[in-house]
Structure 1
């Protein structure tokens, strides 16, 4: 009736109703639907993004055809994750668009005799003979992302997805929150230099608090964070205004005050002390696997930890290598761009250290750094990784659009924000299914590569399976580019000159020893 009266009294404004009423209807639908975070948070206006997403293939074809960029686009990793998370077909027509003659191109060798009978169960058991409760890990898991960096809904969706898919969820260094535990997904509890959730008032490690939480059945492993790929050796600061009551309680810090994560640990200062601390964590947790995560800096410092294991007999259960290309919500540009070793080199050094010391069969090795596909998992396996962790891939599956607002608390999709209004857009059950679907599809892709290579397991990949184009006329296997030692070579002193120099410089009693000139 009101609309009729309006139309009669203002006939010249009738066209406004024709435009606004459909928009209002779209906005109302957007507000109540649960599939898209952006549409829930930005009703009607978010469709502009979907329009350009629809338009992209046509623009892409034009640019490739007219050669405006000089070379074709590569397949967008985010689009691949979105397709798998949504359950869409992730096949790509007309073959690869990568430049196979570029020096950047790399590939995995396949066999003329594939193995279609390769087992679908590709899990890996983590736990040395010093571990009372080994853990069977998926080949792909959720990498460290803290509550505080991510919102409560994002943490819930990730953990529920992990529970559905049977893989683990690393807490990050921000503590073990109620949102990590709400849905029953497997947890790896990471402790950084701030010991959040297991700290005294002055910021030191609190063994009693750690024991009480680490013995929770949902916590499957614990992890000591030594450094992070995006900002190694930097630590971090959560500004006081972002330290909400929930975050303060989870981290055992004071609400509203700056929350400091120091650059280094106070619980240990030498390689041997690190191992003693790890053994203490393993005992306090009830015998669960314990490991370390680091971005490799000086190779001899990592080798010092390996030497300390040989000297003390105390073994880590796993080591996670974080690449410098890994992401974070906020990091100084100089550190994220120029400090820390990329994943490939760091992973090879860690593999050589463990193999060369005769420990690779006892201690598992994991890789973290821009892993979004089955191919990436297989490539890392060829370099020594037993499994991979991913952060951005799982963030994409939650709906992250890389708006680059992580550090501002203004994430439009509700992923990296503590704003209740923005978190409303992220519907936990819907996004949890996407997390699980992305994981399942990626693991299936890994299995297809194992079959194509004629292998039984990802653990069978070797450096020779991975090839790198050097220039337009030359290709080499990875073991022709990098040195790969045989079992026990470092101890025997028969390894590559550079590796032997690093090994000789490693001191199990100190991280401070400098490399010889």
Structure 2
């Protein structure tokens, strides 16, 4: 689009000037075109806005509708609290934090605060000063010889192939500066992940990057790549929240020769990961695979990721941990509300357990089997805001991963075109013309600031609740609508329209 603008724009101006001279008059038309051409040249060279770099003139229509008056938004465009899967107000908060500008809002909440549906934090009248140091969590039990000090908030799994090379470079450089890890996704370790940032290498059912010619797990390839210094953790992907039991999908249009080489597959083909692993088929096999990867990697933290479905299967894994005395270093719980680049709608909308009940179930199960102190629980699945992070911790998580928030930090506008190779911001595409609009220097800084400012707000929230550390965050820190209904019944019996009879 950028190159076409240069050539076609110049040609149009020349043609318009010639026509104006021949027919006489209308000289204002080429003047207007020259001005627009100048604006376009400027936008092609600036680095702040990917949309304007890719669409030098048409891109202004997006910013026009974005800045249009609230009244016009209310009647013709989405409101601040509209938009799926993330409403506009949440996306705006990410954009502001990523740009490191004020994230405050005016005139109070725009949410409809209904006491029956309300959920919030119980603040304390004895609030404390927030801690300036960002929280960290040590991952690695007694069976791990290379434990890793992780940030409380990290980049969730997004493969090279799903995301562009510049997007991966920006994410990894931001992770390096902010000292948090970057999950590679199941697509393997690419050169664009190797920018100095810490990595959590995800091993999916396709074993991309560590597979033999038959698509089976290759211990030799795994041992070689797991010893890379930047690989700090290894995650076995059992299932993904947005499409559990389906396997990842890389559309053929995104499967370039470079990506095919990294994954050890054929270029141009749509790659669908198998629904399940070939290296194991039961709980005991999974845990033995965990132990195998731990030994091959030289003792690095090994864990697995899953969306909870049949609860008996997870309980069986817990039971086998005690039988075999093999304990993963972490378990990542993905909720059914998690994101994906491509999935059938039935899987995204109707398969798997949401994050909150899944975390409650997992923690109860781990405690019942006396396993909770042996591993860390990571929450993944629409954990975007500081409030989301604290809620996940209150439900039992030790730390959190997020993908789409960091995509917003890169400039994603939730165009919902991730599966078409036509992402207008150059984030989720392999189209070189669109990727050019994403400036690595600018976007890596935004990734860093989004992480830092989100955790800073977490610190402010727990201080407002009168807590000093994240170990003090639990469910008692939160209030929900049913509590108010109880209070209303006791102190104001007719406020809910259910007057009690007093004798």
C-alpha deviation, 1:75, in angstroms: 6.3
Residue-by-residue CA offset, 1:14-41 (whole Å, 9 max, x unaligned): 1202321211111111111111111111
Distance in 2, matches of 1:336 and 1:5, equals 56
More displaced stretch, 100-109 vs 293-302: 100-109
Q: Of the candidates 135, 141, 150, which is equivalent to residue 154 of structure 2?
A: 141
Do the aligned partners of 1:74 and 1:98 also contact (CA within 8 Å) in 2?
Answer: no
Identify if the C-alpha distance between structure 1 residues 262 and 8 changes in structure 2 by more than 3 Å, giving closer, same or farther.
closer
- Any residues of structure 2 matched to 1:26-41 within 5 Å, and which? 26-41=39-54
Identify if the C-alpha distance between structure 1 residues 34 and 345 changes in structure 2 by more than 3 Å, giving closer, same or farther.
same
C-alpha deviation, 1:6, in angstroms: 7.9
C-alpha deviation, 1:466, in angstroms: 2.0
Determine the structure 1 residue equivalent to 2:467: 455
Determine the structure 1 residue equivalent to 2:91: 78
TM-score by length of 2: 0.89
Do the aligned partners of 1:295 and 1:322 also contact (CA within 8 Å) in 2?
Answer: yes
- Any residues of structure 2 matched to 1:155-174 within 5 Å, and which? 155-174=168-187
Tell me, what secondary structure is at the counterpart of 2:26?
helix
For the aligned residue pairs, the C-alpha RMSD in angstroms reads 2.5
Q: Give the unaligned 5+ runs of structure 2.
A: 1-13, 489-503
Do the aligned partners of 2:249 and 2:342 also contact (CA within 8 Å) in 1?
Answer: no
Structure 1 stretches of 4+ with a deviation exceeding 4 A read: 1-11, 60-64
Q: Are 1:270 and 2:282 counterparts?
A: yes
- Any residues of structure 2 matched to 1:419-498 within 5 Å, and which? 419-470=431-482, 473-474=485-486
Identify if the C-alpha distance between structure 1 residues 360 and 2 changes in structure 2 by more than 3 Å, giving closer, same or farther.
closer
Determine the structure 2 residue equivalent to 1:195: 207
Determine the structure 1 residue equivalent to 2:109: 96
Q: Give the unaligned 5+ runs of structure 1.
A: 477-517
Q: Are 1:150 and 2:151 counterparts?
A: no
More displaced stretch, 464-473 vs 2-11: 2-11
Identify if the C-alpha distance between structure 1 residues 32 and 354 changes in structure 2 by more than 3 Å, giving closer, same or farther.
same
Identify if the C-alpha distance between structure 1 residues 47 and 9 changes in structure 2 by more than 3 Å, giving closer, same or farther.
same
Tell me, what secondary structure is at the counterpart of 1:55?
coil
- Any residues of structure 2 matched to 1:46-61 within 5 Å, and which? 46-60=59-73
Tell me, what secondary structure is at the counterpart of 1:394?
helix
Determine the structure 2 residue equivalent to 1:501: none
C-alpha deviation, 1:112, in angstroms: 2.2
Do the aligned partners of 2:211 and 2:264 also contact (CA within 8 Å) in 1?
Answer: yes
More displaced stretch, 460-469 vs 265-274: 460-469
Determine the structure 2 residue equivalent to 1:500: none
Residue-by-residue CA offset, 1:389-446 (whole Å, 9 max, x unaligned): 1111000011111111111111111111111111001111111001111111101000
- Any residues of structure 2 matched to 1:96-495 within 5 Å, and which? 96-101=109-114, 103-116=116-129, 118=131, 120-181=133-194, 183-470=195-482, 473-474=485-486
C-alpha deviation, 1:359, in angstroms: 1.9
Distance in 1, matches of 2:230 and 2:177, equals 14
